[in-house]
Amino acid sequence: MKQKNGWLAAVVVIFILLAAGLAVNGAVESFLYPTKYTDEVFSSADEYAVERGAVFAVIKCESRFKQDALSHKGAIGLMQIMPSTGAYLYGKVYDGEQFADRMLYTPKINIRLGTYYLRYLTDRFQDIYWAAAAYNAGEGTVAQWIGEGLSLEDIPYPETREYIARFKAALKKYRKILTRRKQTGGSWNYARLREIFPPFILRYTAARTRFILD
């Protein structure tokens, strides 16, 4: 009996250490790749048939999820929309209602307009990465590059090349995050632990430690 209890105690210790490690990894991931404004992102992405991860990736690249972001060029909010562009998009999305620049600081409006624009760019260039390039450098500029036969790797603007690299990395990561959440219902740490420990160990450990994973 003592040997059995010692073995179970060792498993509990390992369990707690692994859970703590996963919690740290999850915290780091959430810091580097936030999924704030989930309701607004999901709603707008679904409304305009844009990949949810792409919207998160644009927000990360544009503002790092800072609602009050204001660039030196005057771009505003989470998806860094210029007031002139915002006025045009607002007229399209909100059926001609009166627009004011300050509205771009509202997450719901900013994300909806930015997602609508991303949908438009994706339709025009038939590629999410060229759409992201156009979001950064302007659709006229990207149309010229494509007309000249340039590839994404040939983009002459260092800023846009760097932007695309960051967008690709963010999109890849957000695809993994969102897929994992869909598969596990959001309980990432617990899902990982279930891959390592049999069910009776999890039940025993939970009973002994009252450890809450998520």
Q: Which residues of 35-49 are buried (b: 16+ CB within 10 A; e: fewer)?
A: bebeebbbebbeebe
138-180 pLDDT, tens digit each? 999 999 999 999 999 999 999 999 999 999 999 999 999 999 9
Helix (H, G, I), strand (E, B) or coil at 91: helix
Alpha carbon 200 to its chain centroid, in Å, reads 35
Q: What is the pLDDT of residue 212?
A: 43
In Å, how far are 5, 122, 130, 146 from 118, measured between CA atoms?
Answer: 58, 6, 10, 18
Candidates 29, 40, 51, 62; catalytic one: 62
Q: Over the stretch 128-144, which tens digit does the pLDDT of each residue have? A: 999 999 999 999 999 99
Give the model's pLDDT for residue 24.
Answer: 39
- 142 contact partners, CB below 8 Å, separation of at least 6: 125, 130, 133, 134
CA distance readout (Å), 108 to 62, 87, 111: 16, 15, 5
What is the C-alpha separation between 52 and 72, in angstroms, rounded? Answer: 28
Q: How far is CA 170 from the centre of its chain?
A: 7
40 is an active site residue? no
Q: Which of 26-30, 73-77, 96-100, 191-195 ranks highest by mean pLDDT?
A: 73-77
For the chain, which domains are there? 36-184 (1.10.530.10)
115 is written with which tokens?
A: 């997602």
pLDDT tens track for 184-211? 765 555 555 555 556 655 555 555 554 4
CA–CA dist 197, 138 (Å, integer): 51
